[in-house]
Amino acid sequence: SRLSTLLENARSKIEELEADLARGDKTDLSDVLDAARREKDALEERVAELQDQWSRSQAELRRLREQLAGLSEECKVAKNNAKCAVSHLEYRLEQLQLEKDKLVGDCQALEERVAELQVQSKCHHEDKAQLQALLGETQRHLGDVKLKLSDTEQRLDKETQLRRREAEEWQQFQADLLMTVRVANDFKTEALS
């Protein structure tokens, strides 16, 4: 490096001056030699400071690399967990949708049956009492099915909201993690420069 070159030049200059001084050529050499020694000492001190700073930068760089590796692993685990959660929610959503479709079909069939029984009730006065009892039972069954359908629709809505919320949280987590990795990379770049 430039400082090492300057330091080596200063040392060479001191050695030359000391040789001149030893030969007896003392004209202004003492002052020059003192100045050269001071310059050499200052350069050695600066080199030591830079070496210490470089060592600290290397330690910080190692720490940042370890932190980055940890964040990458954490991101990988979180991504896998999110995939599992999304798959589970999609399966639950599909099951609830199938259940809802079945209940809608049952409800339509029962409504058609009620309509048929109402027509039969009007047409057959002699069987009116029996048909009315059957009609009442069918209507109660229809009410139960409608309640079950309503409950299933509510559960489907909750599952849909849960999936949407978890997807939003996962997107936010990815954004936060990406920002953390960018900051760590910026700090690493500054430490290297």
Identity of the amino acid at 181: V
Token pair, residue 13, equals 């200059």
C-alpha–C-alpha distance, residues 14 and 40, integer Å: 8
pLDDT (mean) for 106-113: 93
pLDDT, tens digit, for every residue of 70-86? 888 988 998 999 999 99
Sketch the domain layout of the chain as residue ranges.
2-192
More confident residue, 98 or 32: 98
Query: What confidence score (pLDDT) does residue 133 get?
Result: 85
Token pair, residue 109, equals 């069939």
Confidence band of 45 (pLDDT split at 50, 70, 90) = confident
Token pair, residue 23, equals 């030969």
pLDDT higher than threshold 90 for residue 151: yes
* Residue 124, φ and ψ in degrees, nearest 5: -120, 90
Let me know if 64 is exposed, middle or buried by CB neighbors in 10 A (0-12, 13-18, 19+): buried
CB 192 within 8 A of CB 65: no
What pTM does this model have? 0.37
The total of other beta-carbon atoms located within 10 Å of residue 36's CB is 21
pLDDT (mean) for 172-189: 86
Cα dihedral sign for 41, 46, 52, 58? negative
pLDDT higher than threshold 60 for residue 187: yes
pLDDT (mean) for 62-73: 90
Query: Mean pLDDT in the chain?
Result: 84
CB 133 within 8 A of CB 102: no
